[in-house]
Amino acid sequence: MAEFYGKKYKLSTSENFEEFMKALGVGLVTRKMGNSISPTIELTENNGEFSLKTSSTFKNSEIKFKLGEEFDEETIDGRQVKSVMTREGNKFIQVQKGDKETIIEREFTPTEMKAVMKLGDIVCTRVYKLQE
């Protein structure tokens, strides 16, 4: 079992999230909310079934997936997409296909999780620190 399963990581730094949300068409009020909160992320695994939970004072979300198998997802901003998650070592790579294609790479270490979210030319980097 990977040592980062079941650990909680809390948002510490965020770059370009405003631009990323704008490019997705997220409205002003939700963008302000998105910029002001520090969500917590937790990845768990059970017999090849993964769950990625994102919790915040604004919204909570959970996606459940198996590696390499497409699943339907409603994103936090309400888009309906087809997602596939693959894994390279401790990096989980999610491709979301819908009106817009986004790629979210989440790399876990024992002390932090770095999420790099890409939409066209826009790259947003969010670093989460292990919650003690």
**Binding status of residue 83 toward ligand ACD by CB under 6 A:** no
The one among 4, 56, 73, 83 contacting ligand ACD by CB under 6 A: 56
Which residue has tokens 């965020």?
14
- What CA–CA distance (Å, rounded) separates 73 from 63? 7
**Binding status of residue 94 toward ligand ACD by CB under 6 A:** no
CA triplet 14, 78, 53: central angle to 5 degrees? Answer: 60
Two structure tokens written together for 36: 């002001």
Query: Binders of ligand ACD among 36-55, rule CB under 6 A?
Result: 37, 39, 54
- What CA–CA distance (Å, rounded) separates 78 from 69? 21
| CA-based nearest residue to 126, from 95, 104, 100 | 104
Nearer to ligand ACD, 4 or 34 (CB): 34
**Binding status of residue 105 toward ligand ACD by CB under 6 A:** no
**Binding status of residue 26 toward ligand ACD by CB under 6 A:** yes
**Binding status of residue 97 toward ligand ACD by CB under 6 A:** no
Give min distance, CB of 80 to ligand ACD, in A: 13
